[in-house]
């Protein structure tokens, strides 16, 4: 198993396991925009290299100004973090819940961070007949039993959204129960704006609801680490009081500023690519006997045909230079579940060819 740190994208472990140079792999285990960073982001980084002799702005003021203008939110409602993971950490540190609720299967950091801070974790399970979403009744009961609930929107690893009506209901239940509702929107940028179910424009109605977003996936800068939380100013102050000074580096802030100023062409091209290539992968995998969850993001949850196990498929593809994410360790899923990113047309065709070869090798 390559996920010794609980995530995909571990090229160093893969290189050691399969004896292949890191640069050779086609990495379907990390969900990053296949277009790569926008050109103006790379240009800005190149021009800004000399700025590393200066400390970054500890208040993240320019980035927050641009972000607030783009999202039409007040800067007092924004906390900038060293990736979405730091934002989640600051939420737990700032709000100090005693019990955290999660909806499994889900992003492993929800449980991992909570347990690192000695917080009790309770969970409910998503149902296969609901594309691995939990019922609103089950989530509602969880909200009443804990101090804070994490919910993925779209959820990782299945890529499915809850409806806007469902989110409103959960936010209302959170207010009634005095529970914080943390909505992880790390991948929502990959969904066309008119199809996004988000409480962004109505956060004033729900002071106990927080939105966490990532800049690293859509703008393909995971090595720089940049994310942010949108919430009530009181919540933001509680978070920032726990933040280490200069936790967000200057190059990450500059990259974020450049990314937010990108023209619509980058967003349009990304949406077109993801929509088209996701369907290519879905159809190709189903022809091979795989079950594919109908996700909306830039990744797919896949159940391999029997008797294939995720760990065996990961090894067979790994020696062929292709990395996938095993989901066998996700509570609620099985030994045959994997997750793959949606990549370029060329990369996706290589993947489909190789996985077909592997599956047919047992025939």
Q: What is the pLDDT along the chain (363 residues), one digit of tens a residue?
A: 565 555 666 788 877 877 888 888 899 999 999 999 999 999 999 999 999 999 999 999 999 999 999 999 999 999 999 999 999 999 999 999 999 999 999 999 999 999 999 999 999 999 999 999 999 999 999 999 999 999 999 999 999 999 999 999 999 999 999 999 999 999 999 999 999 999 999 999 999 999 999 999 999 999 999 999 999 999 999 999 999 999 999 999 999 999 999 888 999 999 999 999 999 999 999 999 999 998 999 999 999 999 999 999 999 999 999 999 999 999 999 999 999 999 999 999 999 999 999 999 875
Residues 305 and 245 in one domain: no
Q: What CATH number has the domain bearing residue 319? A: 3.90.1150.10
Q: How many CA atoms lie within 13 A of 61 on its CB side?
A: 3
Task: Mention every residue, 6+ apart, whose C-beta is less than 8 A from residue 90.
Answer: 79, 81, 229, 239, 240, 242, 243
Residues 315 and 193 in one domain: no
Secondary-structure breakdown of the chain: helix, strand, coil percentages, each rounded to the nearest 5? 45, 15, 40
**pLDDT at site 4:** 58
Strand partners, 302: 292, 338
**pLDDT at site 306:** 93
- 178 and 206 Cβ atoms separated by less than 8 Å: no
Domain boundary at 195, 230, 260, which?
Answer: 260
Tell me, yes or no, whether 3 lies in a domain. no
Q: Which two tokens stand for residue 205?
A: 């109605």
Task: Mention every residue, 6+ apart, whose C-beta is less than 8 A from residue 224.
Answer: 216, 249, 251, 252, 255
Task: Mention every residue, 6+ apart, whose C-beta is less than 8 A from residue 115.
Answer: 121
Residues 250 and 269 in one domain: no
- Could you give the CA distance from residue 165 to residue 156 in angstroms, rounded to a whole number? 20
Residues 244 and 310 in one domain: no
Task: Mention every residue, 6+ apart, whose C-beta is less than 8 A from residue 60.
Answer: 80, 248, 253
Tell me, yes or no, whether 229 lies in a domain. yes
SS3 170: helix
Q: What CATH number has the domain bearing residue 127? A: 3.40.640.10
Q: How many CA atoms lie within 13 A of 256 on its CB side?
A: 31
Q: How many CA atoms lie within 13 A of 137 on its CB side?
A: 1
Residues 249 and 326 in one domain: no
Tell me, yes or no, whether 180 lies in a domain. yes
Strand partners, 144: none
Residues 255 and 348 in one domain: no
Residues 293 and 246 in one domain: no
Q: Which domain holds residue 291?
A: 11-30+264-360
Residues 335 and 349 in one domain: yes
- 307 and 317 Cβ atoms separated by less than 8 Å: no
Tell me, yes or no, whether 279 lies in a domain. yes
Tell me, yes or no, whether 5 lies in a domain. no
Tell me, yes or no, whether 2 lies in a domain. no
Residues 204 and 297 in one domain: no
Q: How many other CB atoms sit within 10 Å of the CB of residue 250? A: 16
Residues 17 and 47 in one domain: no
- 168 and 161 Cβ atoms separated by less than 8 Å: no
The DSSP code for 23 is G
Tell me, yes or no, whether 4 lies in a domain. no
Place of tokens 């680490």: 225
Domain boundary at 260, 282, 312, which?
Answer: 260
Tell me, yes or no, whether 88 lies in a domain. yes
**pLDDT at site 14:** 74
Domain boundary at 244, 260, 276, which?
Answer: 260
**pLDDT at site 257:** 96
Start-end of H helices in the chain: 11-18, 39-47, 61-71, 84-95, 109-116, 136-145, 164-177, 233-240, 250-260, 264-287, 310-318, 345-360
- Could you give the CA distance from residue 91 to residue 242 in angstroms, rounded to a whole number? 9
- Could you give the CA distance from residue 305 to residue 291 in angstroms, rounded to a whole number? 8
Nearest to 326 by CA among 348, 307, 308, 342: 308
How many domains is the chain built from?
2
Q: Which two tokens stand for residue 17?
A: 């396991």
DSSP H or E segment with residue 180: strand 180-184
Residues 70 and 98 in one domain: yes
Residues 184 and 84 in one domain: yes
């Amino acid at each position: 198993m390559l996920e010794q740190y609980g995530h995909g994208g571990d090229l160093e472990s893969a290189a050691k396991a399969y004896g292949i140079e890191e640069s050779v792999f086609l990495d379907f285990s990390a969900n990053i925009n296949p277009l790569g960073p926008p050109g103006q982001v790379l240009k800005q980084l190149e021009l800004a290299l000399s700025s590393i002799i200066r400390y970054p702005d500890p208040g993240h003021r320019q980035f927050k100004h641009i972000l607030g203008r783009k999202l039409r939110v007040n800067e007092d409602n924004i906390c900038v973090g060293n990736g979405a993971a730091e934002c989640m950490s600051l939420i737990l540190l700032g709000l100090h819940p005693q019990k955290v609720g999660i909806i499994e299967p889900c992003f492993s950091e929800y449980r991992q961070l909570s347990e690192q801070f000695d917080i009790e974790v309770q969970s409910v399970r998503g149902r296969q007949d609901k594309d691995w979403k939990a019922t609103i009744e089950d989530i509602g009961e969880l909200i009443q039993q804990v101090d804070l609930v994490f919910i993925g929107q779209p959820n990782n690893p299945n890529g499915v959204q809850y409806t806007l009506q469902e989110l409103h209901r959960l936010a209302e239940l959170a207010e009634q129960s005095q529970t914080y509702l943390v909505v992880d929107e790390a991948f929502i940028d990959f969904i066309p704006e008119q199809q996004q179910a988000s409480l962004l424009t109505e956060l004033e109605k729900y002071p106990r609801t927080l939105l966490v977003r990532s800049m690293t996936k859509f703008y393909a800068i995971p090595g720089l680490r940049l994310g942010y939380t949108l919430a009530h100013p009181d919540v933001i102050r509680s978070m920032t009081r726990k933040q280490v000074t200069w936790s967000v580096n200057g190059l990450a802030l500059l990259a974020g500023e450049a990314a937010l100023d990108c023209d619509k062409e980058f967003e349009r091209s990304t949406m077109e690519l993801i929509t088209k290539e996701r369907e290519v992968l879905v159809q190709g995998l189903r022809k091979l006997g795989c079950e594919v969850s109908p996700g909306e993001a830039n990744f797919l949850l896949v159940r391999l045909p029997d008797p294939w196990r995720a760990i065996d498929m990961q090894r067979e593809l790994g020696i062929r230079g292709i990395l996938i994410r095993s989901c066998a360790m996700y509570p609620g899923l099985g030994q045959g579940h994997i997750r793959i990113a949606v990549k370029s047309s060329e990369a996706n065709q290589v993947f489909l060819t190789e996985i077909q070869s592997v599956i047919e090798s047992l025939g």
